[in-house]
Amino acid sequence: MAVAFIQKAFNGSQPAVTSLTATFGAGVGSGDFVIGTVTDGLSTTISASAITDGHGNNPTALIDNVF
Amino acid sequence: MTTCFDAGGPLATATFYFANVTNGATAFTYSTPGAPGFTGIEVQEWSGVATSSPIDAHNMASNGSVSTTQTTPTITTAANGDGIYAALAGTETGFGNVTAVGGTGATFTLRNADTSQNMVFDSSAIQASAGNVNATFTLSSAQTYMTAIVAFKAAGGAAQVPYQPYFQQMLASRRKPTIGWKEGYDNRWRRWRRLRGVIVPDRRVRCAA
């Protein structure tokens, strides 16, 4: 089976927000793959538990760095 | 995991994935664990990706050079037909817009472009044949940026490996000359007989006898 791009979503903000949500235009298909990036003005790494799909699921943090 | 630091930080960046999504999620939320700063989140959905151990290769780097062209690390994929995801995040203030994307090893398309805060961008591609691949982002403002690149595999294993069509080609090249020579010889032989009216026993009959 060949991989195929389906859809994208994005959200960005000025400071003073405690959470930020990127929302797809349509529901994610069963069995599909979602990949993304989070960036924040922090001096500590971002935990995977800080990211959720709204159904109680946390992602696998693939790369997590502080620059 | 590779760690690196940029003097213009601090800025934390994480690349993540959900494999085999089953619940029809549409919203992906990031909650900042510390003092709120500039934040950005972007996601892409793909179909046809392996549901178990989907990652083929990945890397992340802080590009220290102040430039309008930022290139991800080069990764080497092992499977044909990988999906390639590339991300760019600003590490200092004064970010610019992405004006073009490119790369080597695959043809990239700009997907998410943060035109409000210019914090995070991404592109993607499908790499037909395994090998080296990287992505580039061209920006309107020279700055230092963080770049990441991830290759994820197709479900059902890698696409057809190169030696199979090569092997088939080798078999064909061994058969065709023999068939072509015999047919050509027989046709020329029949034409010679017709033109000269020479009665010669048919080769096939003679051989059969």
Query: Which residues pair with residue A37 across a beta bridge?
Result: B15, B42
Question: Shortest CA distance to B27 belongs to which of A34, A46, A17?
Answer: A34
Per residue in B160-186, pLDDT (tens digit) is 444 444 445 554 444 444 444 455 556
Q: Residue type at B76? A: T
Neighbours of B36 (CB within 10 A): 17
Non-local (6+) Cβ contacts of A48 within 8 A are A58, A59, A60, A61, A64, B14, B16
Complex ipTM above 0.90? yes
According to the model, what pLDDT value does residue B195 have?
A: 67
Q: How confident is the model at residue A67 (pLDDT cuts 50, 70, 90)?
A: low
Domain of residue A54 covers 22-67
Mean pLDDT estimate for chain B: 78
Instruction: Name the H helices within B163-202.
Output: 163-196
Residues written for chain A? 67
According to the model, what pLDDT value does residue B187 have?
A: 65
- H/E stretch holding B152: strand B132-152
With an 8 Å Cβ cutoff, are A41 and B40 in contact? no
Asked whether residue A41 is assigned to any structural domain, the reply reads: yes
Query: Tokens standing for A8?
Result: 């994208």
Asked whether residue A14 is assigned to any structural domain, the reply reads: no
Asked whether residue A17 is assigned to any structural domain, the reply reads: no
Q: How far is A56 from chain B (nearest CA, A)?
A: 10
According to the model, what pLDDT value does residue A9 have?
A: 95
Per residue in A1-18, pLDDT (tens digit) is 899 999 999 998 777 778
Asked whether residue A30 is assigned to any structural domain, the reply reads: yes
Asked whether residue A7 is assigned to any structural domain, the reply reads: no
Q: Which chain B residues have a beta carbon less than 8 Å from that of A26?
A: 26
This prediction has a pTM of 0.78
> Which of A1, A14, A35 should one mutate to test binding to chain B, selecting the residue with the greatest count of B CBs within 10 A?
A35
According to the model, what pLDDT value does residue B205 have?
A: 36
**Residues B9/A67, Cβ–Cβ less than 8 Å:** yes
Asked whether residue A1 is assigned to any structural domain, the reply reads: no
Question: Shortest CA distance to A10 belongs to which of B201, B98, B73?
Answer: B98
Nearest to B14 among A18, A30, A38 (CB): A38
According to the model, what pLDDT value does residue B5 have?
A: 40
Nearest to A36 among B8, B28, B62 (CB): B28
With an 8 Å Cβ cutoff, are B58 and A11 in contact? no
A57 vs B30: CA distance, rounded Å: 12
B98 vs B88: CA distance, rounded Å: 9
What 3-state class would DSSP assign to B33? coil
Non-local (6+) Cβ contacts of A5 within 8 A are B44, B45, B46, B83, B109, B111, B124
With an 8 Å Cβ cutoff, are B45 and A48 in contact? no
Locate the chain A residue with the closest alpha carbon to B60. A63
Q: How far is A49 from chain B (nearest CA, A)?
A: 9
Query: How many structural domains are present in chain A?
Result: 1
Asked whether residue A43 is assigned to any structural domain, the reply reads: yes
Per residue in B46-94, pLDDT (tens digit) is 999 999 999 999 999 887 778 899 999 999 999 999 999 999 987 655 6
**CA B72 vs CA B11, B92, B117: distances in Å:** 17, 17, 21
Q: Is the peptide bond before B73 cis (omega within 30 degrees of 0)?
A: no
HSE at residue A10, side-chain half, CA atoms within 13 A, is 20
